[in-house]
Amino acid sequence: MASREDIGSWLEGGATAAGGAKRLGLPESGRGSMAPLGRRVVALCLDWAISWGISTLFAPGNTWAPLVALAVMNIVLVGSVGSTIGHRLLGVQVRVLAAPGEGVAAGAFVGFWRSAVRTVLLCLVIPAVVWDGDGRGLHDKAAGTVITRR
């Protein structure tokens, strides 16, 4: 049976960072630890603003252009360098999660396949705002990734 500590509350940002970090094999704080929810949300807001600006320049009036720009930016940047512009500015990155309890895969490249899965689910919104007991969004869980501090 799951306890309140395992599930957490959406007001608290999911499970406690220490609980999720221990289960995932990540350090509890510092470099390589799970990125706090606040940083992840601000990074997404920055990425959305950049996408909106790009779409205004290249496709003014198209209501889907900001979402397409966000998707392309996420797939290309996360797939190639492991972070979007917002992630970079906030000091976080997307990493491939190794087997449960083993932390992130050493030197693992996120790649375009994982990035595409993550991005499609992120653009659907609901999987990104629902997270598991470890504090990872369902889009990260489906892609086998975790957002950590750089």
Model pLDDT for residues 31-88, shown as the tens digit of each residue = 988 999 899 999 999 999 999 999 999 999 999 999 999 999 999 999 999 999 999 9
**Extended beta strands in the chain, E state:** 92-96, 145-149
Q: What is the dihedral of CA 89, 90, 95, 99, to 10 degrees?
A: 180
Rounded Cα gap, residues 43 and 1, in angstroms: 34
111-123 vs 65-81: helix axis angle to the nearest 10? 150
Structural domain for 90, as ranges? 4-149
pLDDT of residue 103: 63
pLDDT per position as a tens digit, 2-40: 555 544 544 444 444 456 666 777 888 889 889 998 999
Indicate the number of domains in the chain. Answer: 1
Distance CA 29, CA 26 (A): 9
- pLDDT reported for residue 36: 92
Q: Any long-range contacts for 18-25 (C-beta under 8 Å, 24+ apart)?
A: 19/133, 19/134, 20/133, 20/134, 20/135, 20/136, 23/100, 23/101, 23/133, 23/134, 24/97, 24/100, 24/101, 24/103, 24/134, 24/136, 24/146, 25/98, 25/100, 25/101, 25/102, 25/103
Predicted confidence (pLDDT) at residue 99 exceeds the cutoff of 70: no
pTM attached to this predicted model: 0.80
CB 15 within 8 A of CB 5: yes
